[in-house]
Structure 1
């Protein structure tokens, strides 16, 4: 009887387990059915065309649709930052509420390295180097460069090591050496050529000797420069240093046939001094001593030679 009882208990337990298992399966099946039914009863909405739009325009198009919107960011050449470049599902797909709509948003073009070898190139060469890696030359600014000729690139403006393809890269181009001012205070200061040439060399200008007559600056002293002091000129420019030759010589004019008064006026106008008359003071001038046509220093003395009016020559 004890063994038989045990068997009955075991059979009863087995029946209860089966009943519970069936009940659990039934509940699970019911829940699954409810979930499926709920899913099937969710409203569907057609997915709009989003590619090409700006991500800022996305909100009004998907709000109220009940979708979970996932954004994925990429870089892609030929696109602008914020542009939607792809979507999943495709446009026109009927998507139930609660499902995920994935949009791929551009961060701009692919990043490319900015060349670090632009310095020392011509502007055209630098432009070619930028275009070779998908960049473009941007605004050009200029700076003085003592060691870099005009038109040569000093470098690019400060940028990250990598920038999106198509970025405009500003260039800094040399204007060449800063202009030099011709030193002031050289004209009429009693300086010699070598002294002035040394002062010009101090500011990297080149002295070239020139000469001219001067009534006020002694011979061998500097009259001035051309260009004049204070003038801005390119570095290494030639500056003519004008050295005095002293007063300009005077050619004695021919006053033969003039009256003494007229001859004296002519000679004095030429910068000469009449130092007496050799002959009748009221006579006609027949010549000068020194003779007409000779070259003498300004201020030199000249004697008028005269004869009586009507006197024959001979």
Structure 2
């Protein structure tokens, strides 16, 4: 069971995660926001400016940018430029493939110039496994971009940070992150001469396209039972929602990107409506500390080693996790 204090932020959050749009060049099978080329929801520059103003007013340190493919927002480069110039830690979550497409190939060099941290999705070391999740002809472009990032110092010089993200292909909990990272580093170096800094093992959330897939295959109930049986109070103590605030493309405020995808609103309201980033920008005295809404999908963050946008929350062996042999 969760303690009352675990359903509150740990003071005022120090990190702002912004989903700047649902438009994406891919339509991955596991995507919780159901992003794709047909989506047109995009954050405006006005909303981005409010994000930056709130970060400054509340002494936040980290801007975590996601999507969709965040690069496809026409004001994306403006945002990373502004955030970097203010001295924030800027993290960009990318599917890598977008960086091979016309209009985006210059971005790796821009990331390097600005010192942006790159968090790249690479859900499998196996080409067939990965392309079953992300679509055909996506594996080789990812490898090519990782090599380009290495040539710019990413993953090699200790200053340009390159982290990779693993997602399971099947309804299991992630294998132990430390062992997965060792495997990824060894295989990518041996097979492609690729280096990176850290691997984040992130559990698939049973919502969006992955939730639909689980329901279609009859695995949803079993997966939910696995998540609940593997509930770990230590992971719950360190949930990412306790240290961050999440902003949707339209400026609405959530606990995390998963709650945002499911439209799970905060209990705090203003004038009978949901809070937005503009409320915080207009009133710097409005506290970003808040009560957290725990929903059924939150068990994906509290199961086993725990899961967050920066990987597992608990180190060491815990029950219920899959073995590496079982997933590769």
Whether TM exceeds 0.5 here: the answer is no
Q: Which has the larger radius of gyration?
A: 1
The structure that is strand-richer by fraction is 1
Higher relative contact order, structure no. (Cα contacts within 8 Å, ≥ 6 residues apart)? 2
The structure that is helix-richer by fraction is 2
Tell me which interval the TM-score lies in, with the shorter structure as reference length: under 0.3
The normalised TM-score by structure 1 is 0.16
The normalised TM-score by structure 2 is 0.15
